[in-house]
Amino acid sequence: MISKSQISFIKSLQQKKLRKEHGLFTAEGLKSISEFINSEYVIDTIFYTENVMPKLGKLSHNIKQVEISTSELSKISALTTPQQLLALIKIPETRVLTPQMLKGSFTLALDGIQDPGNLGTIIRTADWFGFNRLICSEDTVDVYNAKVVQATMGSLSRVQVEYTDLQKLLQDCPLPVFGALLHGKSIYQTNFDVEGIVILGNEGNGIRPEIITYISHPVTIPRFGKAESLNVAICASIFCSEMRRNS
Amino acid sequence: MISKSQISFIKSLQQKKLRKEHGLFTAEGLKSISEFINSEYVIDTIFYTENVMPKLGKLSHNIKQVEISTSELSKISALTTPQQLLALIKIPETRVLTPQMLKGSFTLALDGIQDPGNLGTIIRTADWFGFNRLICSEDTVDVYNAKVVQATMGSLSRVQVEYTDLQKLLQDCPLPVFGALLHGKSIYQTNFDVEGIVILGNEGNGIRPEIITYISHPVTIPRFGKAESLNVAICASIFCSEMRRNS
């Protein structure tokens, strides 16, 4: 059973401003919620429909549990097809990033990605390839947007995503800075070595000129056909694959 | 100016059955329609809003042109944000595919892809990497679905997509048949040589068992992290990249 004010509170979390204000976001579905439970994220409440709770196993006493009907779930769900469970999860505190923290590994940095599906798919792909940190410029779509959370398929529980002023971060950065650009060295001839930041740009406009300035290694995925561009999540995946293929 | 019956006719083309019945599909936006005009596709009608036609250049007399208002466009558009132009385009006749026709190059074959965005992105990616033919099982989402057309970003005008009974096609196929599976040889150690069919499966269930039977080369994208799976369009892109990287 869920009250009208709870319904409107949960629906309000579909807005970035209110997620920030309350420090909460929603995740849906058994797989996704299970993975958040087994991570460092703190679960506040789980709303569940009949018979589904045993599948989650034993839960900490700190997690509030509320049984609701299927029609109540459809009122709070952000999905077209609600999936039995919806959890309220605490947004972790943001950390101050320094280039030093990024040494010894590869980090994808997204400059202004707008499509929730693209960001979610990039997080899922980064997780597959074992990259557990992602940096986003401040104008990148919010990672706690329900569509992003959904598209990560649980991978958000393992990939740490930090929003930061990219330009500031890149100033005095001691790491190689790779950038996905249309005119760079072929990715197939690029030596990624052991560490670096890999910048991918906005869907329509690419990487901002003020960020391009900091790219020490412009890299291109060679084009063999006639498409004008590649989708940014596709681009990210080919970078992830190339960084791992010789490791 | 557009009549009520024209509006309902164009909207009816959002259904596969009626697209098939009338042999027409819709494409929207200047870029996409320009690319169809410069291809082998036959344009039936272009609905345009004020001032946008000159951007299309000189058009054949066979193309009907109808000026409409922005509010009329929003009534016939399948997009959330309509883009000045909508074209009715003839669905090309299906060709009977034989394995012989696929010799000497690589062809992606999709077994039951359901998400329009995934199919569209795969077509765009295939076009980038210069693969100009794609095969779909009969239960794959319809390529003339407006969301698929939109996601191809014009690449559908260059990539020939054929629906066929995959099982029949693979019987007595003289080409190597690669398949994206969870347990196969690493894609980084796979020699793709010069020709073959590359099978990618449904988002939830993968490749059907009756199709797996025909795979001579099971191939895996190695997992370095913990995501359970990769999105199928991401998977397709890494296959495309690997097939081209040594060519």
Domain at B127, CATH number = 3.40.1280.10
ipTM score here?
0.94
Kindly give the confidence (pLDDT) of every residue in chain B, 247 residues in length, as a single tens digit, with 9 standing for 90 and above. 899 999 999 999 999 999 999 999 999 999 999 999 999 999 999 999 988 887 888 888 999 999 999 999 999 999 989 999 999 999 999 888 888 899 999 999 999 999 999 999 999 999 999 999 999 999 999 999 999 999 999 999 999 999 999 999 999 889 999 999 999 999 999 999 999 999 999 999 999 999 999 999 999 999 999 999 999 999 999 999 999 997 7
Q: Check whether residue A222 and residue A143 sit in a common domain.
A: yes
Q: Check whether residue A86 and residue A105 sit in a common domain.
A: no
Q: Check whether residue A184 and residue A230 sit in a common domain.
A: yes
List CB contacts (< 8 A) between B132 and chain A: 225
Mean pLDDT of chain B: 95
Q: Check whether residue B29 and residue B82 sit in a common domain.
A: yes
Q: Check whether residue B52 and residue B132 sit in a common domain.
A: no
Q: Which of these three, B39, B58, B90, is where a domain ends?
A: B90
Number of structural domains found in chain B: 2
Rounded CA-CA distance B229/B214 in Å is: 23
Q: Check whether residue B104 and residue B173 sit in a common domain.
A: yes
Q: Check whether residue B83 and residue B104 sit in a common domain.
A: no
From residue B89, give the alpha-carbon distance in Å to each of A151, B13, B49, B55. Answer: 32, 11, 18, 19
Q: Check whether residue B29 and residue B70 sit in a common domain.
A: yes
Residue B203: the pLDDT is: 94
pLDDT in tens, A68-101: 999 999 999 999 899 999 999 999 998 888 888 9
Query: Pairing between strand A64-67 and A43-48?
Result: parallel
Structural domain boundaries enclosing A9: 4-90
Q: Check whether residue B176 and residue B72 sit in a common domain.
A: no
Rounded CA-CA distance B146/B27 in Å is: 7
Q: Check whether residue B142 and residue B56 sit in a common domain.
A: no
pLDDT in tens, B40-97: 999 999 999 988 887 888 888 999 999 999 999 999 999 989 999 999 999 999 888 8
Rounded CA-CA distance A228/B127 in Å is: 9
% of chain B residues with pLDDT over 70: 100
What CATH number is attached to the domain comprising A53? Answer: 3.30.1330.30
Q: Check whether residue A160 and residue A82 sit in a common domain.
A: no
- What are the residues of chain B with a beta carbon less than 8 Å away from any beta carbon of chain A? 31, 117, 121, 124-132, 153-155, 158, 188, 221-231, 233-234, 237-238, 241-242, 244-245, 247
**CA max distance for chain B:** 59
Q: Which of these three, A90, A117, A137, is where a domain ends?
A: A90
Q: Which of these three, A55, A72, A90, is where a domain ends?
A: A90
Question: Is B161:B141 a contact under the CB 8 Å cutoff?
Answer: no
Nearest by CB to residue B226, choosing from A127, A222, A227, is: A127
Q: Check whether residue A135 and residue A210 sit in a common domain.
A: yes
